[in-house]
Amino acid sequence: MEERYRQAAEILNDAKTVICLTGAGISVESGIPDFRGAGGLWAKYDPMEYAHIDAFRRNPGKIWKMVFELMEITMNALPNPAHLSLAELEKRSMLRSIITQNIDNLHQAAGSRNVIEFHGNASRLDCLNCGQSYGASEFDLNGSPPLCRDCSAVLKPSVVFFGEAIPMRALAESERLSNLADAILVIGTSAVVYPASSIPFIVKSNGGRVIEMNLESTGLTHSITDVFIQGPAGKTLPELVARL
């Protein structure tokens, strides 16, 4: 393991442009379950059923029951040492940008400034009818679904549901950075949700190096990962930063 930390530190020290792709795993130690964690939210609510845009359009009241629970968890969560380590790397100018699949706002709460929200952010609510946007904290989020103050339509959390497109700016900026980066940290993602999952491959195909941190191996580990560091990100990431 020590040798792997050394190799990863060497890659990061030598690279000119480092980016990071994060997934639900980085927030598990903040108390937000990932898709697969036993007993979590997603054991109760099948994401394919509850996180599809058609389901929301058909029956927003049903989906909001799940969203209330999700909001309560994410709005009370605090960044953990993994989020703080990435903010520290950015401060030291060793990390250009984080591309996150998470919707929990914890990178920003940790102090990271260059964060691309690939799947949106649950702390905002959008009106699909008139385009108005609101802060989630402006509403009392239990009871009945929040309504647009302009047109009374049911609001939708500003997150990308299955069946919806990735926000254009996030997609374009991620692609630009992936083509620029000579190293990528891939943290806590099963790397199966396309197109986020293609980002490490773009970096690799341009000759960049891939450092992966996860509790378990993924489809990347034995294909494009150069250095795999196994363990909880709240522990492994501070360990890595301490070696830079």
What positions carry a catalytic annotation?
119
77 CB contacts (<8 Å, ≥6 apart)?
27, 30, 31, 32, 104, 106
Task: Using the rule CB under 6 A, give the single segment among 22-30, 88-96, 129-137, 165-173 that binds ligand NAD.
Answer: 22-30
Residue 147 CB, nearest approach to Zn ion (Å): 8
Q: Which partner from the list ligand NAD, Zn ion, none does 232 bind, CB cut-off 5 to 8 Å by kind?
A: ligand NAD
> Which residue's CB is nearer to ligand NAD, number 106 or number 155?
106
Residue 140 CB, nearest approach to Zn ion (Å): 18
Q: Which partner from the list Zn ion, ligand NAD, none does 151 bind, CB cut-off 5 to 8 Å by kind?
A: Zn ion
Residue 127 CB, nearest approach to Zn ion (Å): 3
DSSP-derived 3-state class of residue 79 = coil
Footprint on residues 180-239 left by ligand NAD (CB under 6 A): 188-190, 193, 214-216, 218, 232-233
Footprint on residues 121-140 left by Zn ion (CB under 5 A): 127, 129-130, 132
Residue 197 CB, nearest approach to ligand NAD (Å): 8
Cα 14 to Cα 204: distance, rounded to the nearest angstrom:
16
Cα 107 to Cα 150: distance, rounded to the nearest angstrom:
31
Cα 204 to Cα 153: distance, rounded to the nearest angstrom:
44
Cα–Cα nearest to 236, from 12, 8, 20: 8
Cα–Cα nearest to 79, from 224, 234, 239: 234
Cα 174 to Cα 54: distance, rounded to the nearest angstrom:
27
Residue 121 touching ligand NAD (CB under 6 A): no
| Cβ count near 130 (within 10 Å) | 11
Contacts with ligand NAD, residue ranges (CB under 6 A): 23-25, 27-29, 32, 34-36, 101-104, 119, 188-190, 193, 214-216, 218, 232-233
